[in-house]
Structure 1
Amino acid sequence: MQSRTPRQSAHEHGIQRVDNDARLSDELASAVGGARRRAVRDGDRQIDTAHLLHSLLESESEVRALFGDGPQIARLLGYLVQRSIGYGLRWQNGVEDSGAVPVVRETAGFSPLAAASMEYACERAAQRGGPARGPDLLAAIVADPQARAVEVLERAGVDPREVYARLNDRFGIARECGEAAH
């Protein structure tokens, strides 16, 4: 049976490919590609931080390990799936922008906050001398309390400050110059 809903390409949604960005590890590029596909499939105009979180949890073992194997990860993934099948509709046509981070506009179809998170992850990784990885992006995402991903975490009963602390403990990821998560 053929779908009656016409498929739109990423280009029609204004979401261009970033999978080939040399600043990203192969794993992170794959996760970003997954977030892009999810945004298109969900009919969203931009890739937001919740799309990125969902893809990171599905494809990045280092990120998934931060949440454990118990009910917390199951609840979080369940909530993200619910969001992708309907909850996110209230976010469509809106732009994710907290105003707490510098706005990076029109960057590969990302919301301003997701674009700023991607840039921060790449800058952080460059200081380390390597490509950005999933934990770099997760740290950037959870650092802003206005991120949609933070709202998803909180609604699933996960404290973003604890996630940030685990990232710092395991990977030494912390914002410099007095910036902190929440």
Structure 2
Amino acid sequence: MEHRVDDLIRIFKECFEGTYQTRLVRGDFEPLYRPAQPGQALHEIVFAHGFFSSALHEISHWLIAGPQRRLLEDFGYWYEPDGRTAAQQALFERVEIKPQATEWILSEAAGYRFRVSTDNLNGEPTDNSEFKRAVYQQVCHYCEEGLPARTDIFRRALADFYKTPSDLCVKHFSLANLR
């Protein structure tokens, strides 16, 4: 099945625009979460360059963010751009475990390939095998303990639209296939 961002935008709208006053927006450049400003009705999750994977990743950050964080631009998190040192990269990877595990689960529900992103092409070379293991372990945890409510709502909507298995099961994920 073709993976069109317009479908993702519509599915997100159906799931969350009314209840969380949030919409998914195709952006031209870097991704950004913008809370609604005075006179603006909706918060916006802006994903980069119209990429399907960027949309899933930014949605994952939104799904993890609590109510207070959703009132802050980019959820109040720091972002160190590409070119990070090994120490900066290690910190980046620690905070990216849950978002990337969530993105993997959403990708699986959409029947879309998932690739771990270390987002540091011009930085110090590092071994990301431990990061991949941590993302996989978080996916396993979600499979065993269940997903947060909003994440489960969206995962089920994706599975329904893309006609993928509706159950969240660890057998659908493999560390060996993780790129």
TM-score by length of 1: 0.30
With a CA cutoff of 8 Å and minimum separation of 6, indicate the structure with the bigger relative contact order: 1
